[in-house]
Amino acid sequence: MSPLAEKMLLTINERDLICNLDAPVLLMVSGGSDSTALAYLAAELHEAGELGPLSMLHVNHKLRGVDADEDAEFVASLAGLLSMPLTTVEVDVASLAEAEHANVEAVARRERYAAANEALADMCRRGEVPISQGRIFVAHTADDRIENFYMRSIVGTGPGGFRSMLYLNGQVARPLLDVGRDELRQDIIGRIERDLPVVRDGHEMLWREDATNQHTDRFRAFVRHEIIPLAKERNPQLVSTLTRTMNLIGDEDDMLEASAEELVARHVVRLDPAEEGCVLSPMLAAERVPMLRRVVVRVLESLLDPDDRVETTSVEAVLAAFDGGKPRSGYVANIQGNLAVSANRNGVRIEPMAAFRTRRKRS
């Protein structure tokens, strides 16, 4: 087994990224260097008996014309070389984004993961394995994580945000978060030196390059090409240093999140499903603000749409409903998602504004 495959296996085992060796794993492969390396390494681990059944998914967003079609051809050749089943999905993301008046990248991400969830469910059904045991492997690297770290440093983030990325988020696993992009590219090149088969595109490249990654007018590309190179000049070991730092932050964040979850279980009462919303117990007013803030974030995440990011102003509006160790009777605020926040001696209530107005009329 190659050193990099061993490193990926170590991350998988230390972070409990798979349920068992029979569980299917879907690889999301774009054709770029990171996902191409993921496919090679996952195939190596599968051959060594360390990963279960593998399959690939490629989503063509139809955003880059001929280049996008060549990406799909490259991934098809890679799947053939590694004898992996391949699902290819085409989605006209630009048309969807225009029709929905939405951000192109957000729509692309949504459609990509919708396709991945469907493909994984199909794998699990065919393998007669519970869907909950299946995993979607994505090729985010330590470099991607560092980019997120700096992006959040610039625009701000909430509790735990500086851990940057989770190794496991639901069924989505990131087994390459401890590996740098340069390591992955060198491993692909090293396959030739080890007399291992490789796939080349029509230009004899070992992976596909997305030209849009070079455009510094996009925020991530700006951080990637302008900020991080300067940081690496000051600290050539930036990747390992920041990865270690983010993991320390992550360990503490996990501990605090577990405490917040216990508080939610004890002091947050869900309303009748027909009413929607919840009530935060007056006893939460005794908690320190940092912990109360985490409780509020968790509650709002459960009430908002899955794709909505909880806004800081919404969290602060809920916190303002507690004052002097008790709820502020008579307090009312309108926050994102058209949710109403109201307080009385019985606690702080968060519910749809329509439900709040109906209650007010009845009373």
The CATH number given to whatever domain includes residue 194 is: 3.40.50.620
- Within-domain flag for 259: no
How many separate domains does the chain show?
Answer: 2
Is a pLDDT exceeding 80 seen at residue 215?
Answer: no
Query: Can you read off the two tokens belonging to residue 93?
Result: 């993301």
Q: Are 82 and 53 within 8 A, CB to CB?
A: no
Is a pLDDT exceeding 80 seen at residue 182?
Answer: yes
273 vs 106: which has the higher pLDDT: 106
User: Are both 134 and 51 inside the same structural domain?
Assistant: yes
SS in 3 state form for 6-65?
HHHHHHHHHCCCCCCCCCCEEEECCCCHHHHHHHHHHHHHHHCCCCCCEEEEEEECCCCH
The average pLDDT across 309-313 equals: 91
> Under DSSP, is residue 83 helix (H, G, I), strand (E, B) or coil?
coil
Is a pLDDT exceeding 70 seen at residue 363?
Answer: no
pLDDT band per the 50, 70, 90 thresholds, residue 214: low
Q: What is the pLDDT of residues 323-352, one digit of tens each?
A: 888 999 999 999 999 999 999 999 999 999
The average pLDDT across 67-71 equals: 93
User: Are both 318 and 236 inside the same structural domain?
Assistant: no
Least confident of 10-14, 124-128, 217-221: 217-221
Percent of the chain with pLDDT over 90: 84
Give me the pLDDT at residue 218, please.
Answer: 83
pLDDT band per the 50, 70, 90 thresholds, residue 112: very high
pLDDT band per the 50, 70, 90 thresholds, residue 211: low
Q: What is the pLDDT of residues 198-210, one digit of tens each?
A: 999 999 999 998 7
User: Are both 161 and 297 inside the same structural domain?
Assistant: no
Q: Domain residues for 130?
A: 3-244
User: Are both 344 and 200 inside the same structural domain?
Assistant: no
Q: What is the pLDDT of residues 281-292, one digit of tens each?
A: 999 999 999 999
User: Are both 344 and 299 inside the same structural domain?
Assistant: yes
The DSSP bridge partners found for residue 274 are none
User: Are both 220 and 350 inside the same structural domain?
Assistant: no
User: Are both 144 and 275 inside the same structural domain?
Assistant: no
User: Are both 145 and 283 inside the same structural domain?
Assistant: no
- Within-domain flag for 112: yes
- Within-domain flag for 153: yes
- Within-domain flag for 250: no
User: Are both 70 and 139 inside the same structural domain?
Assistant: yes
The average pLDDT across 95-105 equals: 90
The average pLDDT across 223-244 equals: 94
- Within-domain flag for 337: yes
Q: What is the pLDDT of residues 39-56, one digit of tens each?
A: 999 999 999 999 999 999
Give me the pLDDT at residue 152, please.
Answer: 93
- Within-domain flag for 262: no
- Within-domain flag for 29: yes
Instruction: For residues 271 and 79, give the distance between their C-alpha atoms in angstroms, rounded to a whole number.
Output: 49
- Within-domain flag for 251: no
Q: Are 26 and 57 within 8 A, CB to CB?
A: yes
User: Are both 198 and 90 inside the same structural domain?
Assistant: yes
Instruction: For residues 331 and 140, give the distance between their C-alpha atoms in angstroms, rounded to a whole number.
Output: 44
User: Are both 80 and 175 inside the same structural domain?
Assistant: yes
User: Are both 76 and 11 inside the same structural domain?
Assistant: yes
pTM: 0.86
Give the phi and the psi of residue 186 in degrees, each rounded to 5.
-65, -35
The average pLDDT across 57-77 equals: 94
Give me the pLDDT at residue 84, please.
Answer: 97
Q: What is the pLDDT of residues 82-92, one digit of tens each?
A: 999 999 999 99
